[in-house]
């Protein structure tokens, strides 16, 4: 099948005395946001190009269809399809969820605590999906009112994250006429259960207004309670741990400002807690006599302050900052406070006795590298019991009921792998690579214990590296479809992410963004030097901003890879950062810099933007994915990228574009089976290019 071609229209635009040439700029159509709501507005030639590429990709996979089917069955066999979560004891009901073998979307259940009535399904995802009549079923929130009589839920039926809120009376299981369109999907109930709060999306798909909706009243009469005027800020609302206050949080990526008002207040007048200050983030919670403040002011990796509620100016230090340690938030019981912290990309849990102020670590496992967790098991906080969990890259998750007072723990749930899983077959390692500037970059990996470190193995090296997002060394059963075939799975904890704290993030953004890419290459080279793999033995795997990392290292060191998967990749960084009308752009100038106002930032972004730096060189095979409904990374980016890549490259490898024309979002198609199908396709691409087909 011939390679599709996209027409070229010469375009030259001047910024800061630099001419930006782009033969495919016409793909960024002026009404591109309208396509998210109405795909008929997609430019006909772009539509044709996408369809031709989808056919080419389908043809490429024709010889591995049996493998994909095998992988689909294999992945599914590793999932307990009929599964039930642990129950949470609320005031009147136990609440929990479950999945079933035949379903894709799960069910929400509840039962009166005294069990005087049978359990009831109050939200059936598969039934609601069927009723919606949509191929895509994106669930935003399912929120039950405090009196347990009503349920508000939000749905996105295209993948563009425009959520509609619906209301249902649970006593008769019938929907009320209340219906609110174009929201962010979040729902926060008033304590009297007569109203709820939600955030409305503006014309640029940004939640900057918070409304209060009264049950049974017209949406037009909803009360505006907060209006963020800064185009770069977005807002949300939540309830404090003691349910005494609602907190309105408004922020961009580096700065936060919070307001509070009493939860039973009828005349809502949000009160500012602390005025926004550039590069200072904080979050507010309330418990007993105090406001607790989790903040990075004068503590880049956070500390916790508190103050009496009647004297918010007088803040005292409650949890001190620690060098190169990220201080997490708090969960409250009557006599205990549970918190998390993380150093060297390894998280830990701590519990503090409120009465004695003594604190100790909760040790869950002897494994050195893993992911602990803690959660409350009931609404009543007059208890010493909580749930704690543990998982590692080799060990499936376990949940224990833990008594803080007696230190006793009881296993109450374990992730079951129906097809079987033996953690002793694998080795989990943490190694470090020296980057170009001397920074030591952690790498977490899992491999077969029987595999030889002889430089012959293949490695999938996953990375993200943005938004201060941390990649946990957690368990994923599907990865073992690759690991059991001899491919080592590794995570590069590169800068730009938050794995080692705020400085780690700061050293990978704005004019230091290239550190992210150098870190990844350093990790790849270290794995080669230590004979975990060889030059050309790596597969890049990453999506969204991780796709930016992949696109950049493809330009810098393509010879390292036998394949690359760029999933919904942020590869046309310059064009996006120059368009202030896109949903995310204004807020993201704090991460990448503003190339409209600054020549320095323009030049710097231009120096690494994957699309702008495609050159005459040999690139590895690539699978690039997208969706025309994706509002986070618009379809135009990968469409332009694949077209230009084919124009300039000097290899004979196959670089593929798969862009979903049917409803799908940033995370792909909805539903468990669709997610497994997509993963099986991705894995078949990896195995085909790794030439591990005979043993598959």
The mean per-residue pLDDT over the stretch 570-580 comes to: 95
Model confidence band, residue 268 (pLDDT cutoffs 50, 70, 90)? very high
C-alpha distances out from residue 45 to 55, 633, 646, Å: 15, 20, 18
pLDDT of residue 493: 96
- What is the DSSP code (8-state) at residue 69? H
- Beta strand residue intervals within 253-379, DSSP E: 256-262, 271-274, 282-287, 290-295, 303-308, 316-319, 325-332, 336-343, 346-353, 359-361, 371-375
Average pLDDT of the segment spanning 44-67: 96
Count of beta carbons in the 10 Å neighbourhood of residue 81: 13
What mean pLDDT comes out for the span 375-403? 96
Q: Return the pLDDT at 663.
A: 67
Domains of the chain, with CATH numbers?
12-76+476-487+494-525+538-557+568-690 (3.40.50.1820), 83-414 (2.130.10.120)
pLDDT of residue 413: 97
pLDDT confidence bin for 31, thresholds 50/70/90: confident
> Coil, strand, or helix at residue 41?
helix
HSE of 622 in the Cβ direction (CA atoms, 13 Å)? 30
CA distance 82 to 407: 32
Amino acid 36: pLDDT:
79
Nearest CA among 211, 202, 219, 261 for reference residue 236 = 211
Size of the chain in residues: 696
Mean pLDDT of 237-254: 95
Q: Rounded to whole angstroms, how far apart are CA atoms 628 and 159?
A: 9
CA-nearest of 221, 72, 254 to 672 is 72
Could you tell me what percent of the chain has a pLDDT over 70?
98
For residues 8 and 569, what is the distance between their CA atoms, to the nearest angstrom? 22
Residue 600, token pair as written in the block = 């320095």
Give the pLDDT confidence score for residue 215 in this predicted structure.
96
**pLDDT score of 366:** 87
Rounded-to-integer distance, Cα 310 and Cα 308, Å: 5
Give the mean model confidence (pLDDT) for residues 442-465. 96
Give the pLDDT band (50/70/90) at residue 694.
low
- Using pLDDT thresholds of 50, 70 and 90, give the confidence band for residue 19: very high
Q: How far is CA 531 from CA 235, 357, 454, 502, in A?
A: 48, 49, 5, 32
Give which of 207, 185, 162, 159 is closest to 667, Cα–Cα: 159
Rama region for 619: left / alpha / beta (φ>0; ψ in -120 to 50; rest)? beta
With b for 16 or more beta-carbon neighbours within 10 A and e for fewer, the 640-656 pattern comes to: bbbbbbbeebeeeebbb
pLDDT at 696 over 60: no
Residue 55's φ and ψ, nearest 5 degrees, are: -65, -40
- Cα–Cα distances (Å) from 622 to 62, 203, 305, 688, in that order, read 16, 35, 48, 12
What is the Rg, in whole angstroms, of the alpha carbon atoms belonging to the chain?
26
Please give the average per-residue pLDDT across 33-41, as a whole number. Answer: 84
**What's the pLDDT tens digit per position in 94-148?**
999 999 999 999 999 999 999 999 999 999 999 999 999 988 899 999 999 999 9
pLDDT above 80: residue 271: yes
Dump pLDDT digits (tens) for 280-296: 999 999 999 999 999 99
| Cα–Cα dist 444/370, whole Å | 10
Using DSSP, state whether 131 is helix, strand or coil. helix
Q: Check pLDDT > 90 for residue 632.
A: no
- Percent of the chain at pLDDT > 90 equals 86
**Looking at the predicted structure, is the pLDDT value of residue 695 above 60?**
no
The pLDDT tens digits for 512-542 are 999 999 999 999 999 999 999 999 999 999 9
Is-above-0.85 flag for pTM?
A: yes
DSSP notation for 137-183? -EEEEEEE-TTSSEEEEEEESSSS--EEEEEEETTTTEEEEEEEEEE
Model pLDDT, residue 368? 84
pLDDT for 665 equals: 62
């Amino acid at each position: 099948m011939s390679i599709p071609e996209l027409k070229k229209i010469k375009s030259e635009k001047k910024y800061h005395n630099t001419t930006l040439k782009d033969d495919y700029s016409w793909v960024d159509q002026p009404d591109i946001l309208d396509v998210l709501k109405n795909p008929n507005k997609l430019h006909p030639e772009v539509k044709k190009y996408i369809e031709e590429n989808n056919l080419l990709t389908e043809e490429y996979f024709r010889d591995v269809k049996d493998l994909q089917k095998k992988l689909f069955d294999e992945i599914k066999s590793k999932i307990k399809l009929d599964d039930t979560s642990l129950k949470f004891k609320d005031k009147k009901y136990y609440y929990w969820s479950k999945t079933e073998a035949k379903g894709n979307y799960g069910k929400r259940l509840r039962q009166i605590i005294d069990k005087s009535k049978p359990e009831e399904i109050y939200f059936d995802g598969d039934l609601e999906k069927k009723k919606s009549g949509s191929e895509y079923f994106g669930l935003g929130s399912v929120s039950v009112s405090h009196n347990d009589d009503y349920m508000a839920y939000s749905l996105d039926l295209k993948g563009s994250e425009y959520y509609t809120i619906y209301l249902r009376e649970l006593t008769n299981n019938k929907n009320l006429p209340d219906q609110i369109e174009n929201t962010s999907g979040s729902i926060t109930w008033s304590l009297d259960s007569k109203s709820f709060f939600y955030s409305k999306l503006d014309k640029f798909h940004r939640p900057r207004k918070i409304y209060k909706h009264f049950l049974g009243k017209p949406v037009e009469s909803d009360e505006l309670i907060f209006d963020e005027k800064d185009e770069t800020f977005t807002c949300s609302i939540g309830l404090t741990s003691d349910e005494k206050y609602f907190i309105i949080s408004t922020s961009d990526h580096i700065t936060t400002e919070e307001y509070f008002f009493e939860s039973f207040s009828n005349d809502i007048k949000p009160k500012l807690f602390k005025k926004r200050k550039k590069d200072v983030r904080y979050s507010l919670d309330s418990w007993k006599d105090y406001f607790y403040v989790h903040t990075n002011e004068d503590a880049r990796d956070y500390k916790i302050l508190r103050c009496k509620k009647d004297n918010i100016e007088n803040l005292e230090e409650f949890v001190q900052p620690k060098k190169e340690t990220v201080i997490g938030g708090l969960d409250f019981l009557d006599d205990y406070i549970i918190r998390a912290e993380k150093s060297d990309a390894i998280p830990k849990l701590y519990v503090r006795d409120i009465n004695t102020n003594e604190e100790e670590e909760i040790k869950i496992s002897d494994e050195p590298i893993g992911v602990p967790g803690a959660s409350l098991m009931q609404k009543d906080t007059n208890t010493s019991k909580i749930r704690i969990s543990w998982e590692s890259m080799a060990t499936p998750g376990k949940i224990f009921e833990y008594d803080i007072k007696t230190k006793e723990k009881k296993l109450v749930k374990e992730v079951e792998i129906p097809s079987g899983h033996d953690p002793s077959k694998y080795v989990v390692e943490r190694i470090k690579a020296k980057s170009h500037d001397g920074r030591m970059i952690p790498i977490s990996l899992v491999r077969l214990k029987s595999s030889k470190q002889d430089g012959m193995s293949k490695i999938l090296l996953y990375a993200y590296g943005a938004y201060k997002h941390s990649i946990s060394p957690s368990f994923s059963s599907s990865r073992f479809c690759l690991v059991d075939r001899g491919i080592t799975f590794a995570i590069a904890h590169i800068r730009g992410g938050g794995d080692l704290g705020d400085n780690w993030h700061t050293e990978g953004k704005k004019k230091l963004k290239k550190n992210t890419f150098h870190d990844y290459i350093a990790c790849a080279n270290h794995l080669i030097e230590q004979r975990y793999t060889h030059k050309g033995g790596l597969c890049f795997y990453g999506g969204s901003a991780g796709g930016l990392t992949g696109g950049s290292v493809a330009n810098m060191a393509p010879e390292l890879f036998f394949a690359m998967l760029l999933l919904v990749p942020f590869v046309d960084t310059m064009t996006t950062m120059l368009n202030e009308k896109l949903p995310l752009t204004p807020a993201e100038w704090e991460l990448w810099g503003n190339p409209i106002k600054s020549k320095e930032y323009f030049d710097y972004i231009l120096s690494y933007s994957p699309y702008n730096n495609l050159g005459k060189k040999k690139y590895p095979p690539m699978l690039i994915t997208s969706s025309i409904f994706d509002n986070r990374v618009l379809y135009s980016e990968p469409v332009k990228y694949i077209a230009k890549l084919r124009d300039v490259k000097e290899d004979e490898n196959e670089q593929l574009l798969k862009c979903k024309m049917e409803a799908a979002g940033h995370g792909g198609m909805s539903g468990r089976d669709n997610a497994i199908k997509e993963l099986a396709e991705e894995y078949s691409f990896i195995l085909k290019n790794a030439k591990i087909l005979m043993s598959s």
